[in-house]
């Protein structure tokens, strides 16, 4: 939701700034749109395979609908599983794994119930994590490359406009100012596209990727600790130690709130 609000605010602020000193329609030019947007898209299509383009489109349009992963919820799940494994053994976790909607956690639990080799389980899960990071990095790279191409094609559009303007300079001197403004519109489009669309989206997806990677790393460390038979309380303290006191206090308040709601 913040992404949609931020994008809308950016557009409104730009429009208000333009209208305060001029006309909004003076910043509209079809040729500039074709050169800047079309050229940027063409360069990205040349540079990236279709699967990355598709992944970027899907990732971008699903940003408002994604829920931020909760590492503290994962810690609670790990501790709960560790307690059951200690009481009933690792194999008992196979019946409990379907209660969780986290696919990576499910795979981790099923891995430790199927294999007694900790190194094999860790390597398998970390390989999956590496693939996730690579996919995310490809999407980030696509958007960051777009942020590079957009101003460049904006400048190309400006050069095209200037060339056409100079070519007909002797025909109509009064048209020099309007033609110059149209030529500069493409640079405006490129800068806005880069700094209001590509770079913010890349930053947003990077942050979401970092949060997801942290949660997946917690799962890897947690399931390995369960397989090694570590004390559930020690597992919890070790994992909570990765977060600041402020984050832990927020977690405790949320737990207290949930407990009060259950008690009503």
- pLDDT tens-digit profile of 30-59? 888 889 999 999 999 999 999 999 999 999
pLDDT of 170 > 80? The answer is no
pLDDT of 255 > 60? The answer is no
pLDDT of 173 > 60? The answer is yes
Query: What pLDDT is attached to residue 261?
Result: 43
Whose tokens are 């995310």? That residue is 136
Q: What is the pLDDT of residues 120-145, one digit of tens each?
A: 999 999 999 999 999 999 999 999 99
Query: What pLDDT is attached to residue 26?
Result: 74
Query: What pLDDT is attached to residue 178?
Result: 64
Sign of CA dihedral 241, 244, 245, 246: negative
Burial group, residue 63, by CB count within 10 angstroms (0-12, 13-18, 19+): middle
Alpha helices (H) along the chain:
2-21, 30-33, 39-47, 50-61, 71-88, 93-96, 103-114, 118-167, 176-192, 199-227, 232-240, 245-263
Please provide the average confidence, as pLDDT, over all residues in the chain. Answer: 85
6 versus 1: the higher-pLDDT residue is 6
Query: What pLDDT is attached to residue 195?
Result: 93
Query: What pLDDT is attached to residue 177?
Result: 63
Burial group, residue 155, by CB count within 10 angstroms (0-12, 13-18, 19+): middle
Query: What pLDDT is attached to residue 244?
Result: 75
Query: What pLDDT is attached to residue 50?
Result: 94
Q: How confident is the model at residue 262 (pLDDT cuts 50, 70, 90)?
A: very low
Can you give the pTM of this predicted structure? Answer: 0.81
pLDDT of 5 > 80? The answer is yes
Q: How confident is the model at residue 263 (pLDDT cuts 50, 70, 90)?
A: very low
Q: How confident is the model at residue 174 (pLDDT cuts 50, 70, 90)?
A: low
Q: How many residues does the chain have?
A: 264
CA 242 to chain CA centroid, Å, is: 22
pLDDT of 169 > 80? The answer is no
pLDDT of 181 > 80? The answer is no
């Amino acid at each position: 939701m913040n992404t949609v609000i931020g994008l809308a605010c950016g557009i409104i602020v730009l429009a208000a700034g333009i209208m305060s000193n001029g006309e909004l329609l003076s910043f509209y030019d079809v040729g500039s749109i074709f050169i800047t947007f079309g050229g940027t898209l063409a360069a990205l299509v040349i540079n990236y395979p279709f699967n990355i383009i598709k992944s970027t489109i899907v990732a971008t349009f699903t940003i408002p609908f994604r829920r931020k992963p909760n590492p503290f919820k994962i810690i609670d799940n790990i501790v709960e599983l560790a307690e059951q494994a200690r009481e009933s053994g690792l194999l008992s976790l196979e019946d409990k794994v379907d209660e969780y909607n986290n696919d990576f956690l499910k795979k981790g639990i099923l891995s430790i119930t199927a294999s007694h080799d900790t190194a094999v389980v860790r390597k398998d899960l970390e390989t999956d994590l590496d693939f996730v990071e690579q996919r995310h990095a490809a999407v980030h790279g696509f958007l960051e490359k777009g942020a590079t191409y957009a101003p460049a094609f904006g400048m190309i559009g400006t050069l095209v406009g200037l060339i056409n303007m100079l070519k007909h300079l002797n025909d109509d001197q009064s048209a020099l100012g309007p033609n110059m403004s149209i030529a500069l519109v493409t640079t405006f489009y490129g800068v806005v596209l880069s700094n209001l669309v590509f770079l913010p989206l890349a930053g947003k997806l990077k942050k979401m990727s970092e949060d997801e990677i942290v949660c997946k790393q917690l799962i890897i460390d947690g399931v390995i600790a369960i397989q090694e038979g570590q004390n559930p309380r020690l597992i919890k303290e070790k994992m909570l130690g990765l977060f600041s006191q402020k984050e832990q206090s927020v977690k405790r308040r949320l737990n207290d709130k949930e407990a009060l709601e259950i008690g009503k």
